[in-house]
Amino acid sequence: MITTIQYNSRKLKIDLSQPLDISIPIKGGDSNVNAWYIGAPKIQPEVFDGDTISVEKGASVNFNTITFNPHSHGTHTETVGHITKKVYSINKCLKQFFFLSEVITVAPEKQGEDYVISAKQLQFAIGNKKREALVVRTMPNTSDKKSKQYSNTNWTYFQEDAIKLLVRKGIKHLLIDLPSVDREEDGGELKGHNAFWNTKGKLRLDATITEFIYVSNKIDDGCYVLNLQIAPFENDASPSKPILYKVIE
């Protein structure tokens, strides 16, 4: 279904029947993507008085309890509350859900023992385009990103200047296929997070970072409308389901 949406002074056409889901779902077990040194998520039926509440086990309903951490176990969207003493809930900070976005592909640069994404790379990929959201696909882009165990791997991260560039460009919603914008072990500095949310100045309360996405190779770089869906958790982060719609020229 083709529909037209208004974005500032532009009218954009998208096909609502062609959603592109870039989320990684949470599933129980060790094959779930994971980071930050904790165990796998669990999805298990409750047991009452020795009875397992599962249709397979003879109950009338399925009644599962899910144990997970949004930062470790799948696509999630976080707000500045992730790094502040004051509580900022993603459910209160994120109030709009459709954004003009750009999908870019970046091959991280080797820097000593690290792989990094630089401001120069982002500037080359984005140019002078005006976008509210940026979706970053890193190379190599293999499907094992959906089940990778990231702890103790020293994953690719964004240099601080790269994040500052995005802030200057007006990017409010950054979506990445990594566990964090920052280095796995950085002594707690979190330079990328702090730069993105401007913790030394006026906090960017309406800005979000979404981590653990997976952008299929079938999705081209370019302009999309992003629908950033979250679950209504009163927490600094929530599992999320970002959906892209290609802008029809």
CATH number of the domain where residue 109 is located? 3.50.30.50
Q: What is the tally of structural domains in the chain?
A: 1
In a domain, 129, yes or no: yes
In a domain, 31, yes or no: no
pLDDT single digits (tens) 189-202: 999 999 999 999 99
Which of the four pLDDT bands, split at 50, 70 and 90, describes residue 7?
A: confident
In a domain, 13, yes or no: no
Which tokens sit at 237? 């982060």
Q: How far apart are CA 210 and CA 4, in angstroms?
A: 26
In a domain, 100, yes or no: yes
Cβ neighbors of 17 (< 8 A, separation 6 or more) are 1
Residue appearing with tokens 């679950």:
231
- Containing domain of residue 153, as a range? 18-25+72-248
DSSP 8: T
pLDDT at 249 over 80: no
pLDDT single digits (tens) 52-105: 999 999 999 999 999 999 999 999 999 999 999 999 999 999 999 999 999 999
Backbone angles phi, psi at 43, to 5 degrees: -130, 105
In a domain, 77, yes or no: yes
